[in-house]
Amino acid sequence: MKSSPKSNKRIFFTFLLLMTLLFSIAQVSAQDDGGDDYGDEYGDDYGDDYGDDYGDDYGDDYGDDYGDDYGEYGDYGDYGGFEDFDDFGDFVEGGNAGGESVEATFPINGTDLEGSPTEQQQQLWDAFTRIIPADRLQQISKLEVFNDPETSGYVYQDENDPTKFVLGLNVAELDNPNELTRTIIHEYAHILTLNPEQVNGTLASGGSGTCSTLQLDEGCAGADSYINQFNSQFWANSTGTTANQFVTEYAATNIAEDMSESFTAFVLQARPTGNTVADQKINFFYNFPELVQLRNQIRANMANTSGG
């Protein structure tokens, strides 16, 4: 007997309804079998394998490898042991241009060298401006480029404008970027700590007037100056002037070099966790938020330079 069209339609819709119910049951079963496991394998376990462990392998360790050790900065990773700076303790600085063979002198205009520097001379200045923040460059009036195997760099007050400094950099250090970086930070530390906001040049050594704080060749240190506070803590009572209480041998030369070498370590090195006098000298700079900010700026500039 033939079925009617209405009967056929009823059977067809009944079949569709049955298939829809079966499909829904299969979906629920799949969520039970795969949903919790997915949550376990990639949710909670993701939190374990890539969350907490990420914090361990890439978070805390990142802090160690690139955070704290970033203080030792990639190629500067062994700075604390001075492996990348084999000559760090042998750093030699010129008092001024007198003993060095100056190839050329360039006035500084903002961030630019005036005149016609060679490619290497321009590279030397570019290395400085890539590391030291641009708003700090106004304290430099001239760049002197020299080539002397016995001298890494120097700064001295400009005779025509004692509020500014002449910077001397060794073109030969272009062949040793690590050494050039260290020299740049060391020499800038002198500018940072001996500029007229820190030291009264009208009471220069040998001049008239009386200095009641710390007398330097550049003048009389202000009572709240970085170098006077450094002196009170480490030099005034000879608490940090024995041979094993300096970050480098060169730092023992005088208080200005001690401060510059300690500042260089402050920038390039992870914060010390020990309590030696040398550690205390590095940690001294962490007492000044503006210097911590400057450290961060310099390190960020170094990272950008490395990445570029």
- pLDDT at position 150 is 87
Give CA–CA dist 245/235, Å, rounded: 11
Mean of pLDDT values over 26-51: 39
- pLDDT at position 86 is 34
39 or 90, higher pLDDT: 90
Given a cut of 90, is residue 109 above it in pLDDT?
A: yes
Cβ atoms of 245 and 277 closer than 8 Å: yes
- How distant, in Å, are the alpha carbons of 36, 45, 47, 51, 53 from that of 41? 8, 5, 9, 12, 14
pTM of the model: 0.70
Grade residue 100 by pLDDT with cuts at 50, 70 and 90: low
Mean of pLDDT values over 152-159: 95
181 or 97, higher pLDDT: 181
Given a cut of 50, is residue 53 above it in pLDDT?
A: no
Give CA–CA dist 138/134, Å, rounded: 8
- Look at 71-85, 86-100, 187-201, 283-297 and tell me which has the smallest mean pLDDT: 71-85
Grade residue 23 by pLDDT with cuts at 50, 70 and 90: low
Residue 168's DSSP bridge partners are 144, 154
Mean of pLDDT values over 81-110: 62
Given a cut of 80, is residue 11 above it in pLDDT?
A: no
Which pair of tokens denotes residue 72? 């030792």
- pLDDT at position 215 is 92
Which residue reads 């704290």 in tokens?
Answer: 68
> Cα-flanking dihedrals φ and ψ of residue 307, to 5°?
-75, -25
- How does pLDDT run across 219-256, given as a tens digit for each residue? 999 999 999 999 999 999 876 677 679 999 999 999 99
Mean of pLDDT values over 131-156: 95
Given a cut of 60, is residue 44 above it in pLDDT?
A: no
217 or 97, higher pLDDT: 217
- pLDDT at position 242 is 75
Give CA–CA dist 157/211, Å, rounded: 19
Give CA–CA dist 196/138, Å, rounded: 13
- How does pLDDT run across 261-305, given as a tens digit for each residue? 999 999 999 999 999 999 999 999 999 999 999 999 999 999 987
